């Protein structure tokens, strides 16, 4: 923890990043429980990541926001190399929230919550929220502030 000008230790700061975008699920194999209208292959997403600033990437990021879009392109979109069985919007959001959370935790980012929303049919947004298993940001444990 850094000290401020008065000599008091600064508390960790909450940082949020929000990224939205679209992907085309060209290799998705339709089924009766797919997200959105039956003929739809284009999806919108929105991601919100909340974390503490106790550990950032070497560049000073929680995550490079381009990597969020890349995640969707590689796992569901035009950059996937495999056909995949369609899933509900809820399951797509759940998978993305867990995957992005785990990706950040593996980089020791002090994740509080990763929220992923997928736009389904009739304008409905389905949202899943993934938090660290015990609710405490992993990278926050072991810091002096954790014990204050």
Distance, in Å, from the CA atom of 7 to the CA atom of 10, rounded to the nearest integer, reads 9
Residue 2, in any domain of the structure: no
Residue 3, in any domain of the structure: no
Residue 7, in any domain of the structure: no
Q: What is the pLDDT of residues 108-144, one digit of tens each?
A: 999 999 999 999 999 999 999 999 986 555 545 544 4
Written as six digits, the tokens of 142 are 């072991």
CATH number, domain containing residue 63: 3.30.479.10
- What stretch of H or E contains 7? none
Q: What is the pLDDT of residues 49-106, one digit of tens each?
A: 999 999 888 899 999 999 999 999 999 999 999 999 999 999 999 999 999 999 999 9
Work out how many domains the chain is built from and give that number. 1
Q: What is the pLDDT of residues 14-47, one digit of tens each?
A: 999 999 999 999 999 989 889 988 788 999 999 9
Range of the structural domain that residue 89 is part of: 14-147
Which pairs with CB-CB distance under 8 Å and at least 24 residues apart come from 5-13?
A: 9/144, 9/145, 11/145, 12/52, 12/53, 12/54, 12/110, 12/140, 12/143, 12/145, 13/52, 13/53
Helix (H, G, I), strand (E, B) or coil at 112: strand
Residue 34, in any domain of the structure: yes
Written as six digits, the tokens of 36 are 């959105």
In this structure, are strands 14-24 and 110-119 parallel, antiparallel, or unpaired? unpaired
pTM of the model: 0.84
């Amino acid at each position: 923890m850094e000290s401020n000008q008065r000599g008091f230790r600064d508390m960790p700061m909450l940082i949020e990043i929000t990224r939205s975008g679209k992907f085309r699920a060209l290799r998705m194999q339709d089924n009766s429980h797919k997200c959105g209208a039956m003929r739809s292959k284009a999806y919108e997403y929105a991601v919100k990541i909340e974390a503490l600033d106790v550990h950032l990437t070497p560049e000073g990021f929680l995550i490079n926001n381009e990597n969020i879009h890349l995640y969707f392109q590689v796992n569901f979109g035009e950059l996937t190399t495999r056909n995949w069985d369609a899933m509900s919007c809820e399951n797509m959001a759940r998978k993305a929230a867990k995957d992005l959370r785990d990706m950040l935790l593996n980089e020791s980012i002090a994740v509080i919550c990763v929220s992923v929303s997928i736009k389904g049919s009739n304008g409905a947004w389905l949202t899943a929220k993934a938090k660290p298993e015990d609710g405490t940001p992993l990278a926050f444990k072991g810091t002096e502030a954790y014990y204050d």
